[in-house]
Chain A
């Protein structure tokens, strides 16, 4: 967690652009573009070497598979930018999925059941937000607790049974593609969400507040940011979108189960961090996060097509995550040693 070392030894936490460089360098030589570059390279290599990777069918499944991670990664970025974390997202997803099943089975109109799920998602987010901002507890501990709590309620409600009876129209909608393009219809919703969250983060006072309080919540408070409310809203959004992802998950796989998406929180966080969001808070950008999610999605899809066991792909996810957080330090170290060498040769 927060590794507050002595200032002299810590990495240059540069959160503003280096204006001595030309504009194109400031734009392209960023962490986010490194991830986007990696994504492009991996996609090209995969389509060239892996059979069937470049087809619309594969693309469609790839997008369907990453949709839940992509959705939840958006509000998760907000939470991590403020320097907090939310481990309970996959459990909120599971709870929403189970509720959708239970309510539909009990005879509630499906559309109404979806609304109830979203409201419950908001409540889950509010519980996290309340404990973190009002009671003042560390989010890591709180959300480990609610991870168990929300998952526990989901499993408690449904046990080991599954509910698989959902309206055909909605189930179909979750999997339908646009003609033969392979692009799922659900991508429209995802695109809208991406735009809304990107604008919120980068072009509104609320988004500036998120960055400000991630860098220093004291400074942010003195600058007029309502720290508690800003964080609370971030947790609310995480709960809401997780519940939405739960509805999607249920329809996509046609099954409401207590153990839906167990462990997904780690994939979401890995994708967000891979996309260049700093775990210390205060740093990150939406295009990096999207690229991070897609990079993991492309790797998984390509390796699965190449018959690599899907669990073994974990190694790559893990190593990518470690390399991505270590790389700025290694770069800084290399730059530092080059500067030292130059200084020693007069």
Chain B
């Protein structure tokens, strides 16, 4: 997070300041990268952007990962990590399918609420183990990654719930759109805006950054560390639960393996978007942009003539590139701060 307020130059007017903040923001780089990818790909194959399906896929595909990445970013900001999100998505997706299959005529909104609540409960378990047990989140959520997936497998067995078990209105949500913007994208953007506002403007959100920057200092300062960490995990669980419901709406089929491996993609998206893995900095906007960049590149590669087998390698290079970049930026910032301190001293 580079902020221009540190430069002791004469204060420029508001418009210039906002423009400068935007240009210097870490998120802008990701946005530019996304635009470049889209522009190049579209130049080669115009249908990538200029066709009904192309436009829809561009917005729709990242929505689910973006939701998970929002929750993940909130947790990472507190210097924790939630590796169980892939299993939470799988479990809530199967729950969604079961609800529709077993309770005919259940209202769709109820399924959304139940899905998010179920995710929140799973997140609460993570949070309670981490916050009260004072055990690293990496270990706890690695454990619940296994445990939740195991519950999913026990419950689902080799069952597969298909589109025919689901009401058309629900599946329509997954593919339909409003003013050519898919519903799922609208939902993801709404969640992003609320989470972004909460983190930036609310006390509860600011304290998450404080805890992530220095947990010991936050505790000494009197912040309610335990409760805030619980909140972060509950939010991560809830967004993953919501993503599970969306997964069913989008793909219309659930098995016990739904969402496997999503945790690394979500952490990857957050890291690419500039959320520091050691907490205390980053934003949900960055995480969402990271998710968009990841999945857009995935879809662009075959069009650019690179076999889609190489997708994952590109993802790897992207993640490493992003953390190296963040390191360089933070080194430069700290050098500048030291230089300024010496000037004033």
Which residues of A approach B to under 8 Å, CB–CB? 1-7, 9-11, 85, 87, 131, 135-138, 140-142, 144-153, 155-156, 158-160, 258, 262-263, 266, 269-270, 273, 279-280, 309, 311-322, 325-326, 329
Contact = CB atoms under 8 A, between A and B. Distances in A.
Contacts of B232: none
Interface residues of B, number: 56
A158 B318 CA distance: 21
A141 B143 contact: no
A147 B323 CA distance: 14
A20 to B, nearest CB: 26
A1 B137 contact: yes
A114 to B, nearest CB: 24
24 contacts: A1-B81, A2-B79, A3-B134, A4-B215, A4-B216, A5-B215, A10-B134, A87-B264, A135-B327, A137-B323, A138-B277, A140-B138, A145-B268, A147-B264, A149-B312, A156-B313, A262-B261, A280-B136, A312-B153, A318-B145, A322-B139, A322-B147, A325-B140, A326-B135
Interface stretch (B32-40, B93-101, B303-311): B303-311
Q: Which of A85, A136, A140, A158 has the most CB of B within 10 A?
A: A140
B53 interface: no
A138 B150 CA distance: 30
Interface string B264-299: 100110010000011000000000000000000000
B261 A263 contact: yes
A135 B324 CA distance: 8
Interface string B53-95: 0000000000000000000000000011100000000000000
Contact of B309 (A9, A11, A159): A159
A320 B314 CA distance: 35
Interface string B124-135: 000001100111
Given A149-B319, A321-B139, 8 more contacts: A1-B81, A5-B219, A155-B312, A270-B143, A314-B150, A322-B129, A322-B140, A322-B147
Contact of B142 (A160, A315, A321): A321
Given A142-B323, A152-B310, A325 B139 contact: yes
A85 B138 contact: yes
B316 interface: yes
A146 B264 CA distance: 11
B80 to A, nearest CB: 7
B149 interface: yes
Given A1-B136, A318-B150, A153 B324 contact: no
B220 interface: yes
A159 B307 contact: yes
Contacts of B81: 1, 140
B256 A311 contact: yes
Given A1-B278, A138-B278, A144 B80 contact: no
B113 interface: no
A266 B320 contact: no
A309 B261 contact: no
B317 interface: yes
A1 B138 contact: yes
A173 B46 CA distance: 55
Contact of B316 (A147, A159, A262): A147
A48 to B, nearest CB: 25
A270 B146 contact: yes
Given A1-B80, A135-B324, A150-B316, A314 B136 contact: no
Contact of A315 (B154, B215, B310, B319): B154
B122 interface: no
A163 to B, nearest CB: 15
B129 A318 contact: no
A325 B144 CA distance: 13
A159 B306 CA distance: 12
Contacts of A316: 150
B157 interface: yes
A6 B147 contact: no
Contacts of A5: 134, 215-216, 219, 225
Contacts of A314: 146-147, 149-150, 153
Nearest to A139: B277
A145 B139 contact: no
Contacts of A87: 264
Nearest to B267: A144
B143 A148 contact: no
Nearest to A262: B261
Given A148-B312, A315-B154, A322 B319 contact: no
B116 interface: no
Contacts of B307: 156, 159
A148 B150 contact: no
A152 B313 contact: yes
B53 to A, nearest CB: 25
Nearest to B153: A311
A53 to B, nearest CB: 21
Given A138-B278, A152-B310, A315 B147 contact: yes
A337 to B, nearest CB: 15
